[in-house]
Each structure stands twice: as structure tokens, then as C-alpha cells.
Amino acid sequence: MIDIDKIRADFPILKQLVNGKPLVYFDNGATSQKPQVVIDAITNYYSNINSNVHRGVHTLSQLATDAFEETRKKIKAHFNPAHEHEIIFTRGTTEGINLVATAVTPFIKKTDEIIISGLEHHSNIVPWQLLCERTGAKLKVIPINDKGELEMDVFEELISNQTKIVAVNHISNALGTINPVEEIIEKAHKVGAWVLIDGAQSCPHMRVDLQALDCDFFTCSAHKMLGPTGIGFLYGKEDILNALPPYHGGGEMIKECNFEKTTYAELPHKFEAGTPNIADVIAFGTAIDYINKIGLEHIEAYEHDLLNYATQALLNVPGLKIYGTSAKKASVISFNIADLHPYDVGSIVDKLGVAVRTGHHCTQPIMDRFAIPGTLRASFAFYNTKQEVDVLVNALQKAVMMLS
């Protein structure tokens, strides 16, 4: 069960007033808030064990290294990859995708094809466009229907022996659609393609079992799942990561370095050049512990209930239209009200203390698909409440009165 008062007390920012009103934070799709234990983990690292990892024999360096590597163990336990060394720390989802799209370059020919979808975040579009520019390969896009779902019959037509990589998100950040990634992975593997799953939006909301999923790559960002910004991980299957060339060169990633030839360190270090973001890796581990203390199953059920409540409540606002109406959705609602500009509505609800996102949500192709400039997006976390949804609905009604 979710003990909402106890949970909210763990998040110091939720006690704030914004523009003189209690903060209603509905921009969790952009970044989640952080519980005090995560904030404390960062301070504790710098106050007590700050030291570089994997280097010195001295005590602090060993404490720092142990705490750093402990997070990799927590990720292994939480996401169930076959091996701990298949987890590479990155700055986040964006860097994970860029790492893969760059490192696969020698494996991609001019006649090859890369498939993405019409639901992708710019960070799962542009790195593949760059790969196609480097190699001459073709980018194909799975279109979406009016509900914001992938058109899987078109995917069947697009996929062929020329397909080398399929890269799709698990959950759409703009519309909330939960994509049929199991089916995509199975079909892609039949033609021998590698599959990258952008898990930025799934990790905070649902259980992800990497071995059961059987994707070849998976990326995520800590900051959307209660952790700090600037840290995340890339999962890759061991044999594939071993076959790929390094992404960054530098310290920590070499076995032997001399001017004639350098040999690379074993996984995961081969892909972790330079001093890592130690404090934030440690705090990421604390965030995973916090989520597990509450239980992802409880989080999922609570958010689902909140999504249903909010969907009904919002549809009571005259002229409100929801974009993204798939039966399988995470706790994200994108909408517009009549012909009011989302930015104008967003500015007014902000004055009333409610934080929603307005704009294209780094998914311009989706906005083009629906021929709109952008949407308002309310994205919920398990520390949000139905009372807060009511505050949003009232704020929207005020905005409508002021703007029309």
C-alpha cells in the first residue's frame, strides 16, 4: 500500500509554495523529485568518502569504489541482466543511445536499414540520423495511429533482412503509450537485427526484467526515477558490447596504453573512460532502494488509479482533448483545450502553483502527426494525489475563463 502522507513527507520540495500556492508538481515526465535520502546520499559522499574510484589503495578510495560498485549490484538486482558488467554508467538515456549509435558504426553498411518509431524522443532520432549520415544507411519510421499507438502491421512490412537496428521507446514521454516492445524484439531478432529500448519512461513506472525482455540494449536516466541528474546506465548484451569498439578513450578504459597500440579494459570499464560521476552513481543506488522499499507493484497500481481519475476529471473540462488514448498507457496525459495555445494555458496554471509541461516535449514528429504546435502534459508520480488533480482541473477552468 502507498502511505501517501508518509511518502510526501520524504520529498522536501513538495512542501514548497510556488507563486504563493502549494506546489502541484505534474512534470514528472521531465524529471522526478528527489526524496531526502537521495539528497543526503550526495552530501554524505562529499562529506565523508570523497575520493577517486578504482585507483588508490588508500582507505577512502576503497570506500568510494565499493559504494560506487554497490550501485551496479543494485541495478543488477533490480533490472536482472545476466551480468553486472553489462551495466555501463552514462550521463543518462541520451548518452546511452549516442554511445550505441556511434559504436555500431563499423557494423553498418550503405544498404542497411535502421528502424525507429513515430513516437520517439529526439534523443532516439538524431543519433540514428547521424549514424545514417556516416554510413549511408536508411532510416525507416514505424508510423502511429490516431490513438498514438504504433502501427504494428506497417512495422511487419518495414522489417527485413536489411534491418540492422530497431530502436524504440518502452513508453512514450509525450503520449504515455506503452509500446509492445516484446513483440518488436521478437520480430527484430527473427531477421537478426539488434534492438535498443529507450527505457527513460518505463523505469520509473514499471518492473523491467532485462533477461525476460531479451533486448540487446536498454537505456535509462536516474533523474526520472528519483535519482540525480547527469547519471544513468546503458545495458548491452555481453557478446555485443565486447564486439563494439570503445566510445570514449581515456583513463580507466585501457588495459595497456602505449604509442604503438592500446588494449582495452574488460567490461564495463571499456566504456567508462575518465573519472565517473561518483556521487550521483551512489545516490542512484539510494533511489533504487527507495523505490524498492515502496514496491514498484504498489507504485504501478497507485499511478494507474490516479491516471484513470485524472483522465475522467480532465475530460470534464469543456473543449479539452486528450492526445494519446491507447488502452495501454502510463501516467501521462497530453492535452489541449479548444484552440487555446498550450503555452498560455500553462502560464496561467503555473501562477496557480501547478507545474505542467507545455510544448513539443522533445517529440516534434508527434506534434506534426497530430498537426498541433504542442500540448500541455500532466505526468504523475506516486507522490501525487487526486486532490492535486482537482487543483489542476480548477486551474484549467480558470485559464479557460481568462483566455476565452
Active site residues per annotation: 362
What is the C-alpha to C-alpha distance for residues 50 and 59, in angstroms, rounded to an integer? 11
- DSSP codes, 96-125: HHHHHHHHTGGG--TT-EEEEETT--GGGT
**Does residue 200 belong to the site contacting ligand PLP (CB under 6 A)?**
yes
92 touches ligand PLP (CB under 6 A):
yes
Where are the alpha helices (H) located in 115-244, listed in sequence order?
A: 126-135, 152-158, 181-190, 210-213, 238-243
Residue span binding ligand PLP (CB under 6 A) among the ranges 106-114, 198-206, 251-259, 393-401: 198-206
Task: Please select the residue that binds ligand PLP; options are 32, 117, 201, 384, rule is CB under 6 A.
Answer: 201
Q: At what angle do helices 36-44 and 278-294 cross, to 10 degrees?
A: 150
CB of 362 to ligand PLP, least distance (A): 7
Asked if 94 is part of the footprint of ligand PLP (rule: CB under 6 A), the reply reads yes
- Integer Cα distance of 169 and 115 in angstroms: 12
Name which of 338, 330, 340, 339 is nearest 310 in CA terms: 330
Strand partners, 27: 379
Interaction of residue 179 with ligand PLP, rule CB under 6 A:
no
Binding mask 146-175 for ligand PLP (x = CB under 6 A): -----------------------x---x--
76 vs 121, which CB is nearer to ligand PLP?
Answer: 121
In terms of CB distance, is 171 or 352 closer to ligand PLP?
171
In this chain, which of 65, 98, 163, 221 binds ligand PLP, going by CB under 6 A? 221
Instruction: Give the span between the Cα atoms of 213 and 219, in whole angstroms.
Output: 13
Q: Which range of residues in 66-74, 119-127, 339-347, 370-378 is near ligand PLP by CB under 6 A?
A: 119-127
CB closer to ligand PLP out of 233 and 302: 233
Q: What is the largest CA-CA distance in the chain?
A: 72
Asked if 131 and 104 touch (Cβ cutoff 8 Å), the reply is yes
Q: Identify the residue among 10, 27, 112, 198 touching ligand PLP (CB under 6 A).
A: 198
Residue ranges in contact with ligand PLP by CB under 6 A = 92-94, 121, 123-124, 169, 173, 198, 200-201, 221, 223
